Amino acid sequence: MDERYFNVEQVAKVLGTTVRFPRRLIEERRIEFVKVGRHVRIAESVLAAYIAANTVTPRLSHLKGAA
């Protein structure tokens, strides 16, 4: 089990948000998490998948006229 697990504060730091945002993701069940007693942890791979799934790529048609 080589996976790292982050607490809510660490997830917020990685995402560059306040702790309120990852707590809302957890409350709304929009991200997978592990509950260890009262503690909530998010696996590094889950966080990476969340970031990848929510990454928006630019539309190339808008970039043609920018140069």
19-24 CB contacts, 8 Å cutoff, 24+ apart: none
Instruction: Name the E strands within the chain.
Output: 5-6, 34-36, 39-43
Give 4's DSSP letter: -
User: How far apart, in whole angstroms, are the C-alpha atoms of residue 52 and residue 64?
Assistant: 25
pLDDT value of residue 65: 61
Per-residue pLDDT of the chain (67 residues; tens, 9 = 90+): 689 999 999 999 999 999 999 999 999 999 999 999 999 999 999 999 999 999 999 888 766 665 5
pTM of the model: 0.82
